[in-house]
Structure 1
Amino acid sequence: MFFDSWNELLRVLVMTELASPILVAAVRASGKRTLSKMNAFDLVVTVALGSTPATILLNRQVALWEGALALVSLVVLQFVTAWAPVRFRSVRRLVKSEPALLLYEGRMLHEAMRRQRVAPDEVRQAIRAQGAGALERVHAVVLRRTAASA
């Protein structure tokens, strides 16, 4: 009921000890992008970097080196996705999101808010979080890939 066999428990323990340094190396190799501001692909890679070791540890059909190859492949894809937008404008438009102006000179820009799927209450909440009380006192609210800033 609690486990199938002592061998399986030992396998999970050994695989954890072997896979953990590989995961740490993969996250370190992927750079600060994985741990900081993310675009959509960075988020997908980060989630996959967390999911892959779980598969390695718990699925006996996945060998350690197969999982390590998957981790390395994800890091390489992230490097390519970070490098290509710097070199190619068309890739940049595909990968990077442009900031969106949601409020200007105290007036909410409702069409922009609809396009970005942002409710007026969310704009007000972002303004309060920045310590500004009244909308009229706010010059602009811009939705960026990290958060809205007032």
Structure 2
Amino acid sequence: MSEFIEVMFRTILAFIMLFCAARLLGKQTISQMTYFDFIASITLGAIIANLSFNSSLKTHHMVFSFTWFVFVILLIAFISLKSRKARKFFAGDPTIVIQNGMILEHNMRKMRYTLDYLNQQLRGNDVFDIHEVLFAIVEINGTLTVLKKPQYRNVNKQDLSLQSSPEEVLPIELIMDGQIIHDNLTQNKLGKAWLESELQKRKLQLGEVVYAVLAANGKIYIDTYIDNISSPFDKEPSN
């Protein structure tokens, strides 16, 4: 029984350490991984996994190894902030794969980047014709950034010389999962009475609302638990 208790303790300790490290290292390590971030994440995962269940390894040795590796990651991140050469060494450089509608096969071969994957990434950027592309660049985190030729870009209000109302605030979440977010109301000088009156205008009770947000243009978006959709597209087929 003592072995199970030890594994439970080590697992909880591993989770706490990994959570603290993720908060310390920041969002970039967990969302947009470079070569170094990828290696760091795998190594941290391996250390944590061994800490969780490999009882043949001493706990304090694994804790020291994990702590030291996190320190090395932070040290390299600090060096990268101070040195552009270090950033290029650890993160790599963006690579152009399309220029003026022409695929740069040499650059693709260096990255082992296939045409199938290139087409997939282009479709993800709303591009179905390579001739529309002025530049396509594979960023250091593996994502594809696409700049279309001027004649294929979307028209915006500035192009049409149309006036647009300025938006200086972010959308404000008012209700989530049927609960009022009081902090957001207080920070934005909005009263609970005002929110309740907005619900009354729409003949809604608080318990009926899943999500409510005040958009930057002053309009309120409200989603209820009952959607009143007779044939939802995501309905599972019956067997």
User: Which residue number corresponds to residue 29 of structure 1?
Assistant: 24
Partner-residue secondary structure (3-state), 1:136: helix
Matches within 5 A, 1:98-109: 98-109=93-104
Which has the bigger relative contact order, CA under 8 A and spacing at least 6?
Answer: 1
Q: How far apart are the structure 2 equivalents of 1:19 and 1:127?
A: 40
2:11, 2:53 within 8 Å by CA — same for their partners in 1? no
Deviation per CA, 1:76-117, whole angstroms, max 9, x where unpaired?
111111121232344233212111110112111112212222
Counting matched residue pairs gives 145
Q: Does 1:60 align with 2:60?
A: no
Q: Which one of 22, 34, 39 corresponds to residue 39 of structure 1?
A: 34
Q: Which one of 104, 115, 136 corresponds to residue 131 of structure 2?
A: 136
Q: Which one of 139, 143, 148 corresponds to residue 144 of structure 2?
A: 148
Deviation per CA, 1:41-84, whole angstroms, max 9, x where unpaired?
21111112222122112222323322222221121111111121
Q: Does 1:110 align with 2:143?
A: no
Partner-residue secondary structure (3-state), 2:137: strand
Return the TM-score normalized by structure 2: 0.56
Q: Does 1:85 align with 2:109?
A: no
Larger radius of gyration between Structure 1 and Structure 2:
2
1:123, 1:141 within 8 Å by CA — same for their partners in 2? no
Q: Mean alpha-carbon deviation: is it higher for 27-36 or for 83-92?
A: 83-92
User: Which residue number corresponds to residue 96 of structure 1?
Assistant: 91
1:26, 1:71 within 8 Å by CA — same for their partners in 2? no
Unmatched runs of 5 consecutive residues or more in structure 1: 1-5
CA RMSD of aligned residues (A): 1.8
Q: How far apart are the structure 1 equivalents of 2:13 and 2:109?
A: 48
**Structure whose residues are more often helix by fraction:** 1
Q: How far apart are the structure 2 equivalents of 1:29 and 1:84?
A: 16
**Structure whose residues are more often strand by fraction:** 2
1:19, 1:64 within 8 Å by CA — same for their partners in 2? no
Q: How far apart are the structure 1 equivalents of 2:15 and 2:123?
A: 41
1:28 Cα shift? 1.5
Structure 1's 119 and 51: CA in aligned 2 closer, same or farther, altered over 3 A?
A: same
Unmatched runs of 5 consecutive residues or more in structure 2: 147-239
Q: How far apart are the structure 1 equivalents of 2:119 and 2:70?
A: 38
Q: How far apart are the structure 2 equivalents of 1:125 and 1:20?
A: 36
